[in-house]
Amino acid sequence: MSETARDRILARLQGAPRQETPRPESPVPAAAAPDRDARVARLKSLMEAVRAEVHVLPAAEWIPRLKEVLGARAIKTLLYAPDTDLGFALAEAWQQDAAGLPELVAYADPVESFKERLFGVDAAVTAAAGAVADTGALILRPTAAEPRLMSLVPPVHIAVLKADTVFPSLGDAMREGRWAEGMPSNMLLISGPSKTADIELTLAFGVHGPKELIVLVLE
């Protein structure tokens, strides 16, 4: 039944008069690509303008800074992805000295058996696969080891980004990353904490997604 609907719809479309259409002009000529520091600076200012908290810091200092961020918010449980580079580093740091630090919660099981825990954690830390400078957004590429819901369900999301992966534009990120050759099951741009303006156009944060987004940009 659905099959014949398909055939009828396609037949109608195929029977319509063909039309020569203008080829699109080449994409908007990009201004000279800003250097890395300029890209990071733009990303930071745009994301801060939509209330993300952005720290630019030397790569070696990310764990101490993460501890400060967690401490300042009295976070009790921290969701992490154990089978990732970030996850290894975290587990190791916590092993050395976990005094006063939140409990690490591993996202190691299918969501069906992990849902209750997932909806109860205070914060999550994930990697960002890159970022887009011109509009100010992180690129997240969830994987089997680092599932989709980590950046959505917990009220605080901390993303760790390498400064070298900040692209001038989304188009650049797509071309350089060869997205068209193989898309992951889910990919995201995230520009700030969840927000809404549905009541009298008044901004309110944390309506369904994270209330806070903290970005650690590693130089």
Chosen residue from 39, 43, 44, 46 binding other proteins by CB under 8 A: 46
Is 64 or 184 the residue whose CB approaches other proteins more closely? Answer: 184
Question: 192 to each of 66, 126, 137, 212, how far by Cα in Å?
Answer: 18, 15, 8, 8
Query: Taking CB under 8 A as the rule, does residue 107 contact other proteins?
Result: yes
* Footprint of other proteins on 4-33 (CB under 8 A): 5-6, 8-10, 12-25, 27-28
Q: Whole-angstrom distance between the N-terminal and C-terminal Cα of the chain?
A: 57
Chosen residue from 101, 149, 162, 163 binding other proteins by CB under 8 A: 149
DSSP assignment of 9-73 equals HHHHHHHSPP---PPPPPPPPPPPPP-HHHHHHHHHHHHHHTT-EEEEE-GGGHHHHHHHHHHHT
Site string for other proteins, 62-101 (x = CB under 8 A): ----------------------------------------
Report residue 69 CA to chain centroid gap.
18
Chosen residue from 85, 109, 164, 176 binding other proteins by CB under 8 A: 109
* Footprint of other proteins on 156-175 (CB under 8 A): 169-171, 174-175
Chosen residue from 84, 93, 187, 219 binding other proteins by CB under 8 A: 187
Chosen residue from 127, 193, 214, 215 binding other proteins by CB under 8 A: 193
